Amino acid sequence: MSRNLIRCALAGLTAAVFLFVGPAVRAQDLLVGQVASQTSPVTAANARGMAIGIKTYFDSVNDQGGVSGRSVKLITKDDGLVPGKMVEITKEFIADKNVLVLAGYVNTGGLTELSKANLLGGSGMALVAPLQGDKSIVGAANFFPFRSGYPDEVTALIKEAQSNFKKKAVVVYWNVTFGPAMMQLAQEVSKEVGLNVTAWVPIDAKAQDKFDAVMKQAVDAVVKESPDAVIMLISGRYALEFVKQIKNSAAKTAQLYAMSIVPSGDVVKAVGDAARGMVIAQAVPFPFSPSRPLVSEYQKTMKRYAPDEPLSFATLEGFVAGKITATAPTRHGAHPPRDTVPSSPNPKPARSPAAGLPHPPPPPPSGA
């Protein structure tokens, strides 16, 4: 899993968050349902990137005649990062017989509730490539995760810090979604590998009205420890603000370790060259180099169908999700039943290739 780590800040900018509105739907369309909040500061960037990537692949399929003559459409709904709301919307998708399959869900808490309720297995509906791969969360029937789980990422980050002889580490975590569970895992793994963690700094992500005070308190706690490594179990605007403040503090030389849900493009936008040396786990290959056929296809498709959108890890993951989702129905004619999608049981999570770059790559060409 340590091969999945990418060491650097990556070029590219993430555009302003907007609420993705589903396309006009015709009765003969094949509908794909997605629940992902583009309004929550915790998930907005990844939710938007996933939606763009999926839709871009669907646009390319539809331009070539669709699936057995039927267009594939993505319908995205926002759950506000509320677990119960994700369950409610999913039930609505299940009740709509025009929705063939689900894809690209973002919300660890909601996915956990779906898994516990066995809602997908009981309905015959499949969920492809949720932004989560932990089998304890997406291990129920009809979950088809593309990525490895957050525990793999956190374990790899801690081992990476230990293998680079970090003498004093601090772990920063929040109290929502994956935060508490990953903090407990980090405690176990750091003890197992011998990484010296001198402080565990919590961030109250539920106190959004006190955002500035919460972030200052967390940064002050880290600075007090004078660490040479900081492992971040946070995402969204909290992660970006934390990086920005740390890079302007007395702890600016500490190496930062982040999970894949922290958009590298946003990090570069937030701190520029100061992002050099940051370690970010990734679930997909490097999206800026066409050395792999999949990435080459992704870049060409983005350039044609989403020329104003920057290349990113999130849109590449969405592109892969769209590719998997749209490919399965082609094996079953114009009217594939729900329980045949996807047709390959228990796909293994993907693992990205080794990617260790000492410096950020040059920015991709405009529109690439």
Tokens of 146: 């593309």
Q: Mean of the pLDDT values across residues 140-167?
A: 94
Residue 230: closest CA among 332, 180, 160: 160
Distance, CA of 293 to CA of 295 (rounded, Å)? 6
3-state SS assignment for residue 149: coil
Give strand ranges (E) for 91-245: 99-103, 127-128, 143-144, 169-174, 197-203, 229-233
Distance, CA of 330 to CA of 328 (rounded, Å)? 5
Residue 249: closest CA among 222, 281, 284: 222
Lowest mean pLDDT: which of 2-11, 95-104, 170-179? 2-11
**pLDDT tens per residue across span 290-334:** 989 999 999 999 999 999 999 999 999 999 999 999 987 766 555
Tokens of 306: 């989403």
Residue 194: closest CA among 163, 215, 172, 237: 163
> What's residue 136's pLDDT?
85
Distance, CA of 37 to CA of 143 (rounded, Å)? 20
Distance, CA of 219 to CA of 29 (rounded, Å)? 50
Exposed (0-12), middle (13-18) or buried (19+): which is 204, by Cβ within 10 Å? middle
> Contact, 1 vs 152, CB < 8 A?
yes
> Contact, 123 vs 144, CB < 8 A?
no
Q: Mean of the pLDDT values across residues 266-270?
A: 91
> What's residue 317's pLDDT?
96
Q: What is the pTM of this model?
A: 0.77
**How many Cβ atoms are within 10 Å of 356's Cβ, its own excluded?**
11
Higher-scoring residue by pLDDT: 27, 143: 143
| Residue position matching structure tokens 């609420």 | 19
> Contact, 150 vs 134, CB < 8 A?
yes
Radius of gyration of the chain (CA): 20
**pLDDT tens per residue across span 123-134:** 999 999 999 988
> What's residue 27's pLDDT?
53
> Contact, 178 vs 111, CB < 8 A?
no
Please give the backbone phi and psi of residue 143, each rounded to the nearest 5 degrees, phi first.
-90, 130
Per-residue pLDDT band at 205 (split at 50, 70, 90): confident
**pLDDT tens per residue across span 144-154:** 998 888 999 99
Average pLDDT score, the chain:
85
**How many Cβ atoms are within 10 Å of 323's Cβ, its own excluded?**
21
**pLDDT tens per residue across span 14-61:** 222 223 344 555 558 999 999 999 999 888 999 999 999 999 999 999
